[in-house]
């Protein structure tokens, strides 16, 4: 079945450091890919998305490019801030798969901690 694999955390960075959180996926069809963020004490929020190969999603300085050849969707940011400290979830939606009732499939989440 479809699945998402994220790098294990926690990721600990200093302010203004570069961030990469790896995400790879397995899907039977042509998935859309998403990154969600969960700030402390809050629910998950959609951060960015890409719906087809080579698309780049971006929001709040974060970017991720849909790489079909490597089945990856790594999250990147050039300069992180303390306020970026959160849990980041990679997810996919394989609407073309023969799975009735499918909803988003999430990874385990990667905790990012940024210190000043």
Partner 1 sequence: ETGVTQTPRHLVMGMTNKKSLKCEQHLGHNAMYWYKQSAKKPLELMFVYSLEERVENNSVPSRFSPECPNSSHLFLHLHTLQPEDSALYLCASSQDWSSGLITGELFFGEGSRLTVL
Per CB under 8 A, residues contacting partner 1 are 4, 32, 34, 41-46, 49, 51, 89, 91, 93, 95, 100-109
Smallest separation (angstroms) from partner 1 to the CB of 43: 3
Smallest separation (angstroms) from partner 1 to the CB of 57: 10
Smallest separation (angstroms) from partner 1 to the CB of 114: 21
Nearer to partner 1, 101 or 116 (CB): 101
Nearer to partner 1, 75 or 105 (CB): 105
Nearer to partner 1, 60 or 78 (CB): 60
Long-range contacts of residues 107-111, Cβ cutoff 8 Å, at least 24 apart: 107/4, 107/5, 107/6, 107/23, 108/6, 109/6, 109/9, 109/38, 110/6, 110/7, 110/8, 110/9, 110/10, 110/11, 110/21, 111/9, 111/10, 111/11, 111/86, 111/87
């Amino acid at each position: 079945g479809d699945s998402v694999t994220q790098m294990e955390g926690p990721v600990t960075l200093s302010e203004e450091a570069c961030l990469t959180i790896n995400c790879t996926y397995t899907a039977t069809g042509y998935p859309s890919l998403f990154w969600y963020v969960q700030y402390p004490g809050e629910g998950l929020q959609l951060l960015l998305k890409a719906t087809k190969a080579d698309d780049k999603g971006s929001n709040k300085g974060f970017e991720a490019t849909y790489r079909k050849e490597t089945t990856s969707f790594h999250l990147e940011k050039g300069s992180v801030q303390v306020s970026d400290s959160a849990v980041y979830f990679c997810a996919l939606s394989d609407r073309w798969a023969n799975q009735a009732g499918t909803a988003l499939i999430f990874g385990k989440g990667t905790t990012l901690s940024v210190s000043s």
